[in-house]
Copies of this chain bind each other. A is one copy, B any other.
Amino acid sequence: MSNKITDIDMRIMKLLSKNARLTYKELAEILGTTRQRISRRTDKLERNGVILKYTVIPNYDVLGYVHVILGITVKPSVDLDEVLNVLKEDENIKIIQRSLGSHSLVLHIVGPKDMKELEKIISEVSKKIPGIDKLDITFVTETVKFEVL
């Protein structure tokens, strides 16, 4: 098998993106193939990093958390690789994405609802990033739609 994404891979990905708890048996039935083939293709998708993770999308508010997105623009001279290694270790930062355009870094923080505590966390995170040009802070209040593929 090559590293190419096949038609069956794409269909498996779309089904799992809608429900990551579908069993190989259920996937095989829906796609009219064998459990063995699904297992083989899925293993490959995991190994090749096409599937980064199977996860749950929670309602943070009900769990007692606040979901904050930091859109960060750094000066062009900053070595992001070094910064990322430090940020990865920070347990308050759940998602780290490198990016181009308005922001060079997108960080997601899942923190306490207490604004004083949250301010402290955001301040500590931003101190770890040298050469910040712009910092956009966005508080997610409601997830209206969440699809992946």
Contacts and interface: CB of A to CB of B under 8 A. Distances in A.
Interface of A: 5, 10, 13, 16-21, 48-59, 62-64, 68-69, 71, 84, 87-88, 93-103, 106, 110, 136-149
Contacts of A57: 51-55, 148
A59 B50 contact: yes
Given A63-B10, A145-B94, A55 B16 contact: yes
In this complex, the member of A48, A62, A93 whose beta carbon has the largest number of chain B beta carbons within 10 angstroms is A62
Nearest to A142: B98
Nearest to A80: B144
Contacts of A84: 144
A84 B145 CA distance: 9
Contacts of A99: 69, 138-141
A63 B95 contact: no
Contact of A18 (B55, B138, B148): B55
Given A62-B48, A84-B144, A103 B136 contact: yes
Contact of A52 (B58, B88, B97): B58
A97 B136 contact: no
